[in-house]
Amino acid sequence: MNGVHDLGGMHGFGPIPREENEPVFHADWERRMYGIARILLNQRVFTLDEYRHSIERIPPSVYLGAKYYEKWAIGATGLLLEKGIIKPSDLKGVKPINLNPTFSLSAKARGDSIFKHPSRAVKARFKPGDKVIARNVNPRGHTRLPRYVRGKRGTIQFDEGVFALPDANAHGGGMILQHVYSVRFAARELWGPEAPARDSVAIDLWEQYLEPEPARSSNGRGRNGRGRR
C-alpha cells in the first residue's frame, strides 16, 4: 500500500521533535495501550502484520496528526471490529475511527508468527554480492517494500533467514516462507547525483521483492545511477 506511512524520502515534516528527559510513557492511556496491544499480539488475537496494516489504513490526515499510541488505539480498535471480536456497542459511546478498507480485509482469518523459521526447507535465490533490482510493484495491500527503493539497483549484503511474507500474512493469506535479505543501495541510486558518493541505505527485503539485475548495457548505466547523467 502506497500510504502516508511510507515516509522514506519525504520532505515537509519540519525539524525532528526532540524532548529532553523523555519519559517512557507520557500518560496513563499510553501505558495501558502499549500493554493491551502487546497482550493481543502475544495471544495471536491478531498478527503483527495485520496490526501494522491496520495502522497504515488509518485515514491519512489522522495518521499524520495523531500521537503514536493513539494510532495503536485506532488500529487495534478497528481491527478488533473488523474481525468481529468486539462490536461498536461494546465501546460505550466511544465512536471508532473507520479504517480504510482494502481489497482484502484481514477478516476472521488468523495469521501466524512473523518470526524466524528454520531455513533448511526454503531455498535462497540470492547470495551475498548479487546485484538485484527491487521490483516496481504497487500493491494495494500491506507490503514491506517501500516506494523509495522500487525500481532501484542494489546489492545483497547478507541473508537474514526465513520469514513469513507480510503481504500475505496481513490479509489472512497464510504463511508464505521466504528468505529475507539485507540489500544495500547507493544513496545516489536512490536520490540522484546530488547525494554523497559513498553513503548508502541498507534495507531488509523479502525475496519476492527482488529480481536479478539484468546484465549491464555496454554504454554503461552504472549501478549507482551515475551512468544516467
Partner 1 sequence: MAANHQAHEHHRHDEPESDITLRVKALESILVSKGLVDPQALDMLIDTYEHRVGPHIGAKVVARAWSDPAYKRRLLEDGTAAVNELGFPPGPEGINLIVLENTPKVHNVVVCTLCSCYPWGTLGLPPVWYKSPAYRARAVGDPRGVLREFGTELDDDVEIRVWDSSAEVRYLVLPERPPGTERMTEEELAGLVTRDSMIGVAKAKSPKAGARKRPGNGRAEHRV
Residues 50-89 that bind partner 1 (CB under 8 A): 52, 55, 59-62, 64-68, 70, 73, 76-77, 80, 85-86
Q: Is 135 in the site for a copy of itself (CB under 8 A)?
A: yes
Q: How far is the CB of 191 from a copy of itself (least distance, A)?
A: 5
Choose the contact partner of 170 out of partner 1, a copy of itself, none; CB within 5 to 8 A by kind. Answer: none
How far is C-alpha 16 from the chain's CA centre?
21
Of the residues 152, 153, 206, 224, which one makes contact with partner 1 according to CB under 8 A: 206
Binding mask 15-34 for partner 1 (x = CB under 8 A): xxxxxxxxxxxxxxx-xxxx
Choose the contact partner of 107 out of partner 1, a copy of itself, none; CB within 5 to 8 A by kind. Answer: none
Question: What's the grid cell of residue 124?
Answer: 535462497
Q: Is 201 in the site for partner 1 (CB under 8 A)?
A: yes
Give me the count of residues in the chain: 229
List of long-range contacts for 29-37, beta carbons under 8 Å, 24+ apart = 29/69, 29/73, 30/67, 30/68, 30/69, 33/69, 33/72, 33/73, 33/76, 34/69, 34/72, 36/76, 37/72, 37/76
Calpha distance 159→128 (Å, rounded): 7
Question: Helix, strand, or coil here: 135?
Answer: coil
Provide φ and ψ at 178, rounded to 5°: -145, 155
- Interface ranges with a copy of itself (CB under 8 A): 1-4, 9-14, 56-57, 59-65, 100, 133, 135-138, 140, 147, 151-152, 191-194, 211, 214-221, 225, 227-229
